[in-house]
Structure formats: C-alpha cells, structure tokens
Chains A and B, each alone.
Chain A
Amino acid sequence: MKLITVNASVTASNDRDAEALRQRLRAQGKLLVNVMSSAGSGKTTLLSSIIRDLPDVKIGVMEADIASSVDAERIEALGARAIQVHTSGMCHMDAGMTAAAFDAMQAHDADLYFLENVGNLICPAEYDTGAGLNLMILSVPEGDDKPLKYPLMFQKSDVLAITKTDALPYFTFDLETCIERVKKLNPAIDVYPVSAKTGEGMAALEKRLLNALDQWKNNR
C-alpha cells in the first residue's frame, strides 16, 4: 500500500458540484436563492408574500423537508411553480440534491428560484448548495441571541431577513443589539427587518432580491 496525501476537505466533492451548478445557473441567467433558517421562522410565509408582491417575476420554489408536502401545496395555491423535495432524513440540502431538484423544475421556466432548505441553523450552513445568494431568516420569537449561538449561519449568508417584527412588542428582542451582533460576525451582510403579516419592510427586501437578479443576469 502507498501513502497518498489528500489534504482536502471532506466536502470537497460537494464544493465542486456546487460550483458546477452555480456556473450552469449563471449561464442561464437564473438566480437561485438558498433560504436558510430554523423550523417555524416563517420561510414559507415570507416566500408567499414575495410571490404575491412580485407578480411580474417568474418564481420557482423548491421546498426541502424531511417529510410531507404541506409547504409546496401552500406555494402552489398562490400560482407559483413549486416542487417538494424530500431529503430522506438528511438535515440539509447539498449541491447534488439541489441540482437534481433544479433539473426536476426545468419543466417550469422561471427566473428567480428559491430553495427552502431544511429548517435547521447548523448543517445547511456547512454545505454549499450552488446558490447565487444565501438568504437567512431569523424570526423575532427565536431571540436576539441566535448570532452568538449559531455564528456560521450568519457568516455564510449574504442577506438576513429578521421576520415577524409585528411581534416585537411582545418579546424581549432588541433589534439594534441583534443587528450589531450579526454585523460583528459578518460586516458585509445586508439586514432587513420585515413583517410579512403587515407588509412592513418587505419592499426593501424585495428590491434587494430584484437587484441581485439583475446583477446575476448582467454578469452572465
């Protein structure tokens, strides 16, 4: 037997798959947004609002869950294109699974795709899905200490939506402190406090997403 020095990350094969998918999406001018958050943060509700607010944008949604198809059904009810992805017990989506899901969506022609990752603040941050933009959601009831507990997720995200701001009066959530903690971990992240329920702050977040889509298409 011979000794071979590898010195590669365990996820090296995933990183290659992710880069291949990203290049494919870039060539097609389709922006994939990887949406990550804990369970119950309001991912599907936020996406529903975005779909309703942007009727002129062709949107496709891939809902990843360990089981059930309730999320995809909610999105389809709004007239958007949606598929449900089952991860068979896996706690995250990797690039191979994302590429397979994207291929399954190809029958639906859209410009902006959302991948609703498995609700979990840990594992999804460790796997590059091949997305062009990482969007994290933190909801007010979860608490402003989450950046301290799950730093990697905040470091890997390009945009953070702090959702359920309509519930701020009922929780001891300090918005300013939270944003300060997030910026300390990731100075480049854009933070948008929003309420999908009242619509407050949604326009700014949607503008950010549309700008990202324009930029993606222009850099084809």
Chain B
Amino acid sequence: MHEMGIVLHLAKTLDETAEQERLTRIGKVVLQVGEVSGIMTDLFTDAWEYFKGRHPVLKDSELVLETIPAVTWCDACKREYPTVQYGKECPYCHSGETWLLRGNECIIKEIEAE
C-alpha cells in the first residue's frame, strides 16, 4: 500500500514534468532510493508496472532504481557511520545523540525523454 502511494505521486510528478518540458514520451526514469526509506523495491516495481500503463507519457518507460546508502552522523564524537549496520547508537563512542544524514530519500534523479 505504501509503495502504491509513492508510485502514484511519482507518476503525477512525471506528468507535470512532461507538461512543463513539452515531452511526449519518457523512455527511462532513474530514481534514487534511500537504504532506510522504507521502500520495498519489488513491490515498488510491481506498482510501477501497473500504473505506468495508465499514463500515456510513461507507458514504455523503464524504471531504474539506484540505492543511496544510509549514513548517520554522531553529534558527540563528530563522526559518520553506516546506519543499517549500527542503528541509532554510535559504534565509536556509544552516544545516542545521532542523526540520519542521508538514506531516507526518494528522488527522481533524471529522465530520458523526447
């Protein structure tokens, strides 16, 4: 259900881009998906295959997913560490004063279109 909602918004944003740039066909969509964005890529691709048929501009588009590794910043010792491996607690100083730097995004990086 979650993936379906994101695909709906993706298709809408792409429709708007096509209108602005006067595009008739989008051949490829490159999406950057954060490692901890909560998006299941299998479900996402299934939802994409279903919805793209409903948007004339997208009907032959190929979806390419790139992963953005999740990185957390430790405010106590001012270091970065991989989020998925260590979670909320800093592996160097064991502080909990940590913030996610990246890895939660879902960004349309580029499209190939005419």
Q: In the assembly, what is the distance between CA of A122 and CA of B104, in Å?
A: 13
CB contacts (< 8 Å) of B104 on chain A: these are 152
Count A-side interface residues using an 8 Å CB cutoff: 25
Q: How far is the CB of B52 from chain A (nearest CB, A)?
A: 14
Give the docked Cα–Cα distance between A2 and B114 (Å). 6
Contact with B along A1-17 (1 / 0, CB 8 A): 11111111111111000
Please, how many angstroms separate the alpha-carbon atoms of A70 and B73 in the complex?
45
The CA-CA distance from A152 to B104 in the complex, in Å, is 10
Interface of A is mostly: mixed
Question: Considering the chains assembled together, what is the distance between the CA atoms of A89 and B104 in angstroms?
Answer: 24
The answer to whether A10 and B21 touch across the interface, beta carbons within 8 angstroms, is no
A123 in contact with B17 given A6-B108, A148-B88 (CB within 8 Å): no
A-B contact count (CB 8 A): 79
Q: Decide if B2 touches A123 in the complex (CB within 8 Å).
A: yes
A13 to B9, CA, bound (A): 7
Asked, given contacts A7-B108, A8-B107, A8-B108, whether A13 binds B5 with beta carbons under 8 Å apart, the answer is no
Interface pair A92/B5, CB less than 8 Å apart: yes
Given A9-B105, A9-B106, A13-B16: A4 in contact with B113 (beta carbons within 8 A): yes
Query: Which residues from chain B contact A8 at a C-beta distance below 8 Å?
Result: 13, 17, 107-108
Min CB–CB distance A141 → chain B (angstroms): 24
Contacts of A90 in B (CB 8 A): 1, 4-5
Q: Does A144 reach chain B (CB closer than 8 Å)?
A: no
Residues of B at under 8 Å CB distance from A?
1-2, 4-6, 9-10, 12-13, 16-17, 21, 23, 25, 27-28, 31, 38, 88, 96-97, 104-114
Quick one: CB contact mask for A154-174 with B, threshold 8 Å, 1 for yes? Answer: 000000000000000000000
12 more CB-based (< 8 A) A-B contacts, given A11-B9, A148-B88: A1-B27, A4-B113, A6-B109, A8-B17, A8-B107, A9-B108, A10-B10, A13-B9, A13-B16, A90-B1, A90-B4, A152-B104
A91 neighbours in B (Cβ, 8 Å): 1-2, 5
A7 to B31, CA, bound (A): 9
- Residues A10 and B113 in contact, CB atoms below 8 Å apart: no
Q: In the complex the two chains form, is A3's CB within 8 Å of B110's CB? A: yes
> For the complex, what is the distance from the CA of A24 to the CA of B17, rounded to whole Å?
24
